[in-house]
Amino acid sequence: MYLSTVHDEQLIELIKRCVSKQIPHEEGFIQLAGVALEQQSQVSHLRPLCQAQAAVLVPIVARPEGLTVLLTRRANHLRQHAGQIGFPGGRIESFDAGPTAAALRETEEEIGLSRDGIHTLGFLPQQLVTSGYCVTPVVGIVEPEFVLRLDSNEVDEVFEVPVRHFLDPAHHQVRLRSIENMSLRVYDIPYGERRIWGATAGIIMSLYHLLVAHSGQL
């Protein structure tokens, strides 16, 4: 079954099946951020570079007119990843109960999205970013009646992209990037004048590949 023909209710159920089976920190679970799935085995030697744990929320907003993914644009004055498009989240602190708790806490702090309206479903493969963080994506369904309060020290903008945009392979662009003398295929996903890349694109593509792999169950 083509994902483009799946109704939103079916798609949510399929997402639940995909992410509920994932376990953070499982061996072979870490991916190098943004690198094409078929090349992950070539970069397995980079996994020990993971120096700290972080978590992000992948917020899927259940709007009546169609599912969307909520994304942020990081503040331009930040030292790392300034101006980049990403998901709300940050470092997992010692007082956090785990990736889910950290992702919900950071989301509230960064954009004011209350955890009361978020139904977490599970996890996607960790993304190892060049800064040394192993990022655990936590997938959640968000009720559409929310009010945001952006922390201007962290975030300049919040916007939503239709889930259908990410499910269309025509929007999955690939370019070559040199990492440690290896030529690797990395993802770019354009949306209007914006370009989604790096770990954010890697997380989106992880979800896409899981949905494709499990679409036959519908």
Please report the pLDDT score of residue 81 as a whole number: 57
Contact 30, 50 (CB under 8 A): yes
Contact 199, 127 (CB under 8 A): yes
Domain range for 29 is 3-217
Length, in residues, of the chain: 218
Please report the pLDDT score of residue 112 as a whole number: 96
Number of domains observed in the structure of the chain: 1
Direct distance between the N- and C-terminal alpha carbons of the chain, in angstroms, rounded to an integer = 8
Please report the pLDDT score of residue 183 as a whole number: 82
Please report the pLDDT score of residue 101 as a whole number: 96
Mean pLDDT by 10 residues, the chain (218 residues): 79 90 59 79 65 93 96 76 83 94 96 96 87 89 94 91 94 84 86 92 93 78
Amino acid at 187: Y
Pair of tokens at residue 71: 């994304």
DSSP track, the chain: --GGG--HHHHHHHHHHHHHT--TT-TT--EETTB-GGGGGGGGGGGGG--EEEEEEEEEEEETTEEEEEEEEE-TT-SSSTT-EE-SEEE--TTSSSHHHHHHHHHHHHH---GGGEEEEEE---EE-TTSEEEEEEEEEE-S-------TTTEEEEEEEEHHHHH-GGG-EEEEEEETTEEEEEEEEEETTEEEEHHHHHHHHHHHHHHHHHGGG-
Strands 52-63 and 66-74: antiparallel
Contact 166, 69 (CB under 8 A): yes
Pair of tokens at residue 33: 């951020």
Pair of tokens at residue 108: 């509230």
Tokens 């295929």 belong to residue: 185
| CATH number assigned to the domain comprising residue 138 | 3.90.79.10
Pair of tokens at residue 13: 């159920």
Please report the pLDDT score of residue 45 as a whole number: 67
Please report the pLDDT score of residue 80 as a whole number: 60
Please report the pLDDT score of residue 106 as a whole number: 97
Pair of tokens at residue 56: 């992000």
